[in-house]
Structure 1
């Protein structure tokens, strides 16, 4: 009787103090999937536990970020994604940015799924191809997510975390971490050559934009709790103060597991290289990493099998949780945009299912990439930049909350410093941006000066209002063709496939925006021919992509009815560059044998971020100069107007001045008569 009473009291205490227990576990798994094998084990192999202090520092900032999101969700009853449509700036820019990032991150999710397949392939060697295993795991993940049931997902993750905790406890009993080694790691020190490792930990440990998914899961949990507790009002100050304690505990538990998993993998990496013949500074491969860890856990009965299965399921769990959270987030964002614009869109459940299918396509496409570790790191660096930006957005939203729900000064300080460091670290990790992107943007200032002068001319005004004749259009083509050539000449050569990181596409894109697809194509042809004559394996795709850039810009401005905003300029720049590097480049090189798939991937890896950034900068400068124009004539005129072309040609052959002189002569003759 007394045992029953104690159990009843425990359940009551747990329900009251852990009302929102669960979302933190989902957060822990999705974060662990990125911080485990990909970074922590390798860093542990090189530097042991000396960088534990960096892990703890990073998790403090990311806990503060998650705490800010949780307070916003509890205080407003909305997810953080609902707020993206209300932040200052171009309309829906926050929503579109997070959609783009989450779609790009699906490439990293695909890399995680391949990792899970690799570990299962080690567990069952030679049974199936790793890609087939990854496809099977993807089908299983879709089957689990098809119901869109948060309860099933939470139960699955709870079981996974329980098994993971048991495995970690057993491992620590068998291989206890020396206390002095742990304490030395807590004291801030920077081992020789560990600077990039420190940056990597700050960039990926504890995840990045994945933390925003906590708002979605917390909202799901809160909605279900409101159904059970009819008196629950999360917008009430009293209830907010009561529930925020439960949420903070949930987040703390989640980050505790992240810290535990990360430090455990650090120790596994350290132990593997301690007993091996390979030095701590040796280059790691995935096979080497797995082999060294198996050497350690193999001394435990069934340790190797358990380790392989456990790590595979960590990655699989991260994939399931990552797909679910992102699909829910994007469905909410699209649904909110539909409500704001008055458009009839599919239900949130249907949008969720659609996004899962879109995600599946991106994940399958990522399977062709030979090095999943590389793509996970590249995507992590890109996401970290956006994560730092969203840190400031969370600060802005926090200041809009009721006073009782706002963060204190310590929280503001941690968020501000952490957001700045996150952006800085991401840029340092993405060395291609600093090496190529910044110099290109500096050279773009010359183009900005030319655009400023051009915007003050009558030619510019005539092009925008649709009164330009063929001669005006000819000079426009020459000008922006020259800008395209300048973008190549002032580009930066790279010793990979003879490529030139450049801003060649800026000229044709602007020509297409102000003159339509034909003007854009003509300007692109000038820049493209110049690049083609430079030679190299990428000469043909660069020529085609430059012409295509002008055509796409002309078609897009026509689709937008001549209206160009800052946001549309960014979308156009990213779309054209992705079309160039992800479609045209592989299509016109790999089938002809001029480049291998690995070579194309290397080119994309080095060039995509700096070239996207410099093209965005160029179009944003142009969009700023034309901000006073409501619409361009190129966007409202007919695309193929043969009659207008004939009139322009007739006007060129018979200028208006000559026609006026003829009319004056005829008038004088009539007067004489």
Structure 2
């Protein structure tokens, strides 16, 4: 009897702890961003004055993750499948998040370099930092190749245990300043700390990493869902989340304490820039009084970055592979897609390790990811309102989500003044560019383009119109960091789509000549890139037989911009450091500006219910065929002309 009772008790405990694990993975993924890259520096600058930011941020991020956990338990889907139901173009949210995930791999290259710096301090002069980072990446690939969630969970739990032991041991060398920590709970904004508060909000508890929790939770639940399942396990999922965010808060405060202790005798001004090397040296000086303190700090600093990288790569690969398998027809299995994705991620990370610099890589994609994370808060609210009553969030949850998402959106837009300095002028330029494009779609000349009735004079008019759009987009550029951010590629790209690569090249030539005449160190690069953008979109459209979608439109813009930013400067200058700096300074805003213009044009086409049909005989002409219903176009005499034609 006693044995049976103990067996039942063990089974009950095992059942309750069934969902403990995904939260640990989430905590380690978040710790890689907030544990070292932010908390040490914030502690060095502001001591414990920003503890209140950590508390409020984690409350919101707990509510955010709770919302996506409830969605998974009640529907049996990951949040990524839910995001495909957001109103708008098909799968637009997932495509956009996937793009950000790919860009974030550059930041993971920076994280691995951070980890390599710790090993380099532990074994000075033995290895090169970049070699250590690449070896670490190879080990991660080996561990992920089997696509085993259980293996990853065991590794990350072991890292978490070692992390607590190691940091706790390091802190034995000095007492925790409880009074200072308690005083930091009271909200106040130290002079010059606004940008640090913004950075801390984004880093603490991570941002888009929170979406990965739903992937790991889906693995643990094996897709089970329903009212009974939800009511039985939601409390244990919440316990897992509480454990995760408690772990994040402890790691953050402990690293902040190390940052404070490292500079307690120094006079560091608010906002004064510090290098990671300077912070590490000061912390090592403090820990030199603790036996093996330096070794513990350096080894476990590396382990945090290792854990963040392996969880981040695994979660993103699982998320994207599951969406690709469920939303698109593909001959690959989910396992094959997972392996392809981790190889792609590894390639991006390796390029970042070889050509990049840690701080620049980590902060280069943070602004756009922060904006998307804030918008996702409102999307989670929308999906929550569609859930059954038993799994829907209460009013307190809704209030926290609305206030938190609004605050994050405001902070993201204001971060470093980028939105005000670059974003608003670019939006203004795009609006002024799109208006003539929209008017063009209502003209007889556009009808001739889509019905393949262009004469030489008409072709010349198309070149002139879109050349003017290209020149205006370049003229209205915003100078920043020695580079002019502009939407000058929109004209050649649209000309390439509707009239082929020849039209795109000639249109880009006009914009390229204007850019070249303006002068500057990058004038020739961007002039050639403008010409190439029209050619690339023209050939992409021909390759797809004119069957353009939003995702295909985004893909060909990415290809054109990468050619401009990577291939052209490498061919002309053969300077990889210059390419990395060019990507950091202006790639994202240029990509977003030109992609937005092209996607809006595709929207105009789809609103007109035209599918693009591209005949194999002609490479420079495109025909549009109506979609589900026949659509007639009228000429100036009021006659109707059918668009239906056999392929």
- TM exceeding 0.5: yes
Where do residues 500-579 of structure 1 align in structure 2 (5 Å cutoff)?
Answer: 500-579=484-563
Contact 2:95 2:551 in 1 (8 A): no
Contact 2:548 2:612 in 1 (8 A): no
Change (3 A) 1:399 1:352: same
- Which residue of the other structure, out of 364, 372, 375, is the alignment partner of 1:378? 364
**1:395 CA displacement:** 1.6
Q: Distance between the aligned counterparts of 1:268 and 1:12, measured in 2?
A: 41
Q: Distance between the aligned counterparts of 2:252 and 2:481, measured in 1?
A: 36
State whether structure 2 residue 199 is matched by structure 1 residue 212. Answer: no
Report the equivalent of 2:631.
none
Report the equivalent of 1:660.
none
Structure 1 unaligned residues grouped into runs of 5+: 227-233, 643-673
Q: Distance between the aligned counterparts of 1:476 and 1:632, measured in 2?
A: 21
Superposed CA offset, 1:67-89 (max 9, x none): 11111111112222232333322
**1:160 CA displacement:** 1.3
Report the equivalent of 1:440.
426
TM-score scaled by structure 1? 0.87
**1:620 CA displacement:** 3.9
Change (3 A) 1:140 1:416: same
Q: Distance between the aligned counterparts of 1:452 and 1:641, measured in 2?
A: 22
Q: Which has the larger radius of gyration?
A: 1
Bigger shift: residues 300-309 or 131-140: 131-140
Bigger shift: residues 108-117 or 80-89: 80-89
Change (3 A) 1:34 1:235: same
Report the equivalent of 1:150.
149
Where do residues 173-322 of structure 1 align in structure 2 (5 Å cutoff)?
Answer: 173-223=172-222, 234-276=224-266, 279=269, 281-322=271-312
Change (3 A) 1:164 1:555: same
Q: Distance between the aligned counterparts of 2:402 and 2:331, measured in 1?
A: 37
Superposed CA offset, 1:326-347 (max 9, x none): 1111111111123xxxx34222
Change (3 A) 1:72 1:106: same
Q: Distance between the aligned counterparts of 2:438 and 2:226, measured in 1?
A: 53
Structure 2 unaligned residues grouped into runs of 5+: 622-647
- Which residue of the other structure, out of 463, 467, 470, is the alignment partner of 1:481? 467
Report the equivalent of 1:663.
none
TM-score scaled by structure 2? 0.90
Q: Distance between the aligned counterparts of 2:318 and 2:432, measured in 1?
A: 44
Q: Distance between the aligned counterparts of 2:476 and 2:49, measured in 1?
A: 44
- Which residue of the other structure, out of 606, 631, 635, is the alignment partner of 2:585? 606
Superposed CA offset, 1:246-289 (max 9, x none): 00000110110101111111111111111246555542112101
**1:637 CA displacement:** 6.1
**1:439 CA displacement:** 0.7
Bigger shift: residues 399-408 or 347-356: 347-356
Change (3 A) 1:641 1:440: closer
Change (3 A) 1:639 1:205: farther
Contact 1:492 1:501 in 2 (8 A): yes
Contact 2:170 2:296 in 1 (8 A): no
State whether structure 2 residue 369 is matched by structure 1 residue 369. Answer: no
Q: Distance between the aligned counterparts of 2:607 and 2:267, measured in 1?
A: 68
Where do residues 438-477 of structure 1 align in structure 2 (5 Å cutoff)?
Answer: 438-477=424-463
Change (3 A) 1:560 1:344: closer
Change (3 A) 1:253 1:640: closer
Q: Distance between the aligned counterparts of 2:498 and 2:620, measured in 1?
A: 16
Report the equivalent of 2:597.
618
Change (3 A) 1:494 1:201: closer
- Which residue of the other structure, out of 330, 352, 357, is the alignment partner of 2:343? 357
Bigger shift: residues 310-319 or 394-403: 394-403
**1:470 CA displacement:** 0.7
Q: Distance between the aligned counterparts of 1:488 and 1:555, measured in 2?
A: 23
Q: How many equivalent pairs are there?
A: 621
| SS class of match (2:225) | coil
Contact 1:24 1:250 in 2 (8 A): yes
